[in-house]
Structure 1
């Protein structure tokens, strides 16, 4: 059973962060929220494993 990978797996995390920020540039708060929701659903579909997704949801909520 796959588990959530929480270690850095990006070859260039700064490049991803820059792309993420660029994606939200010049958007309203509502548009930015829509982009985030779409991104979450696209990545969840790509992952496709409900156990991993539940683990990610739980992990994301910790400390909030």
Structure 2
């Protein structure tokens, strides 16, 4: 069973963050929402573990894990 990783795990975190910010450039509100939904589904599919995905949702919502 995999566990949600909450410790820093991205070598070049600032660059990855900037890539995410840049991906939204030029998109209107509806396009941003659609892009976010697609990206979330793509990453959830990559994770492939329902328990990890549920734990990430809980953390993002501010719920106790």
Higher RCO (C-alpha under 8 Å, 6+ residues apart): 1
Which residue of structure 1 aligns with residue 19 of structure 2?
19
Q: What are the ranges of 5 or more consecutive residues in structure 1 without an aligned counterpart?
A: none
Query: What's the offset of the Cα at 1:8?
Result: 1.0
TM-score computed with the length of structure 1 as normaliser: 0.93
Stretches (4+) displaced over 6 A: none
Deviations 1:28-48 (A, max 9, x none): 011011111000000000000
Task: Calculate the aligned-residue CA RMSD, in Å.
Answer: 1.0
Q: What are the ranges of 5 or more consecutive residues in structure 2 without an aligned counterpart?
A: none
Which residue of structure 2 aligns with residue 47 of structure 1?
47
How many pairs are equivalent? 63
